[in-house]
Chain A
């Protein structure tokens, strides 16, 4: 049973436009959400995160939105750049016991076309 779902395996966006990557979760114990970016042959690198007490967090071109009632979050990249082409993983961690353990989605491969 997948607790973190990224239903779009891939996404293509024109350079300069907005990229929107979606993520859904099922576990109500999750209270902290993260996005990781992964280039081929490299490990995932932390991009941005959001606590369940917020509904938006912004860092430069990257904004994460959280809708707790819908158990849905999204990552917006504006404007998209060719260097953003990578696999993006949504991840979640629970509060309390086991808060060190991340549960990842399967990832979305973003291609930004010049």
Chain B
């Protein structure tokens, strides 16, 4: 389909391991966002890309989290030394322009044992 695609849909890992989550936005959308939804909470902003650059990474919880978007399309969220508290659904969204309508992917559910 033509929507936002996220892989993997589910990831189970052990504490301390490294994880990568991938997002393929809608073609032509210049803005890309990562949000995190913990159990019983609403989505929380992590990072925003305009093109290739991270315009705002103020929502990343600590330096174990990093995201890239090298060619202005696909983005990867990277989590080092995972902790149990990182368990959540990681949502990616894209929009045609900044502050345009956000289209969300189905999310990647991360479980850290």
Q: Give residues in A with beta carbon < 8 Å to B.
A: 4, 6, 36, 41-46, 89, 91, 93, 98-107
Contacts and interface: CB of A to CB of B under 8 A. Distances in A.
A71 B55 CA distance: 29
Contact of B43 (A41, A45, A46, A89): A89
A84 B45 CA distance: 26
Nearest to B33: A100
30 contacts: A4-B42, A42-B106, A43-B4, A43-B104, A43-B105, A43-B106, A43-B107, A44-B91, A44-B104, A46-B101, A46-B102, A46-B103, A89-B42, A89-B43, A91-B42, A99-B98, A99-B99, A100-B31, A100-B33, A100-B56, A100-B95, A100-B99, A101-B45, A101-B48, A101-B56, A102-B35, A102-B43, A104-B44, A106-B42, A107-B42
Contacts of A89: 42-43
B110 to A, nearest CB: 15
Contacts, number: 52
B56 A106 contact: no
Interface size class of B (residues with CB under 8 A): 20 to 34
Q: Which 9 A-B pairs have the closest CB atoms?
A: A104-B42, A43-B104, A99-B99, A104-B43, A100-B98, A106-B42, A44-B104, A43-B106, A101-B45
B40 interface: yes
Contacts of B91: 43-44
Nearest to B9: A41
A101 B31 CA distance: 11
B62 interface: no
A62 to B, nearest CB: 16
Nearest to A99: B99
Contacts of B4: 43
Given A43-B93, A43-B107, A46-B103, 13 more contacts: A4-B42, A43-B4, A44-B43, A91-B42, A99-B98, A100-B95, A100-B98, A100-B99, A101-B48, A101-B59, A102-B45, A104-B44, A106-B42
